[in-house]
Amino acid sequence: MNGRILSSLQGLLLGLLLLPVFYQSLLQIWVYFANSSKPEGQAAEGWKYRRIGSSVVFYASLLVILTILAPAWMYFVQDFHVHPLLWVFIFVFTDPLKRLVLCIYWICVICASILRFYNISKDSKIERILLRKYYHLVAVLMFLPAFLFQSSFLDLAFGAALAVFLILEMIRVWKIWPLGHIVHQFMNAFTDHRDSEILIISHFSLLLGCALPKWMSSGFNDRPLAPFAGILSLGIGDTMASMVGHKYGVLRWSKTGKKTIEGTAAGIMSVLAACSLLLPLLASTGFILSQHWLSLLLAVTVSGLLEAYTAQLDNAFIPLVFYSLLCL
């Protein structure tokens, strides 16, 4: 990964992890002065303005983190000649045609999927597990073109997406006006037993499952499928396993579980089929192919079987296992 991209991601995520502390500190100061500026009998009336006031404090804190504190850390660890945010824009416009087209494509896919799937979640009787798998397919549509044609830009885009997810989750949890209720209503339509009452982490695990194998890969090497571990295991294997198992599955792996042997077999076969299509394409772009089909079959099978017995955070765990097996 490019050194400046890595520093940008580290600084951005570190800043967002510090945002709750920074925001709560400023909020306490704001509440103190807001109450002390009123007569004692009217101090309680100030709480009616807290919703909007706390939202203003949050957005101000976010602005300070993104424009001052996080860039300061980036300057410290990496030799940026310009402001890191400006560097990001310069990086995007070094290949404007491909990268801007890719951004427009991502925006269109996101908007279409949000509108379509949210309406389905309200009006149909489709189980939530299947609705969630549709987003796995969206991940394939979004990330696969970038994997093949804009690999370095995808590294940065993954970090930006993770930052957006963190910000939206903070807005949802703290009910920041005006987006808090909207984000909560949308996200709640896709939650299941793996999400807690406070935090919704399914979208984080899906994104990290796709991003971590890419971030850990070193570009051109003799294991070209390794960066695709998340896309293959989640976007294709896990999705096909759930859909086939839900519709055609009869033989269950356990009496208490819902996962079926038919679904697992479909997931394994779909990943192998995707690999058979992907490997020639990668070979044509300059990758050195030394992956034996026997080792690939072993990696896909072990990951598929592990998915059948994993109930918690499998979106983040299975891609890492698959990545490790592909690197052997």
**Cβ density class 267-293: b for 16+ within 10 Å, e for less:** bbbbbbebbeebbeebeeeebeeebee
Please report the pLDDT score of residue 221 as a whole number. 60
DSSP string, 109-173: HHHHHHHHHHHHHHH----HHHHHHHHHHHHHHHHHHHHHH-HHHHHHHHHHHHHHHHHHHHHHH
Residue 232 CA to residue 18 CA, distance in Å, equals 34
Nearest C-alpha neighbor of 166 from the set 62, 69, 60: 62
- Spatial contact of 256 and 286, defined as CB atoms under 8 Å apart: no
256: number of Cβ within 10 Å? 6
Residue 224 CA to residue 327 CA, distance in Å, equals 9
Please report the pLDDT score of residue 307 as a whole number. 83
Residue 159 CA to residue 66 CA, distance in Å, equals 14
Please report the pLDDT score of residue 111 as a whole number. 87
Please report the pLDDT score of residue 43 as a whole number. 46
Residue 19 CA to residue 61 CA, distance in Å, equals 7
Please report the pLDDT score of residue 291 as a whole number. 65
The widest CA-to-CA distance across the chain, in whole angstroms, is: 78
Please report the pLDDT score of residue 38 as a whole number. 58
Q: pLDDT under 50 in the chain at which residues?
A: 41-44
- Spatial contact of 236 and 271, defined as CB atoms under 8 Å apart: yes
DSSP string, 179-193: THHHHHHHHHTT--T
Write the pLDDT tens digit of every residue in 304-316.
888 888 766 678 7
Please report the pLDDT score of residue 271 as a whole number. 92
Residue 154 CA to residue 180 CA, distance in Å, equals 28
The residue assigned the tokens 């570190």 is 14
> Which parts of the chain fold into alpha helices (H)?
3-36, 50-64, 70-77, 84-93, 96-123, 128-149, 151-173, 180-188, 202-216, 229-230, 239-248, 261-284, 293-308, 314-326
Read off the DSSP letter of residue 260: B
Write the pLDDT tens digit of every residue in 110-127.
888 887 776 766 655 566
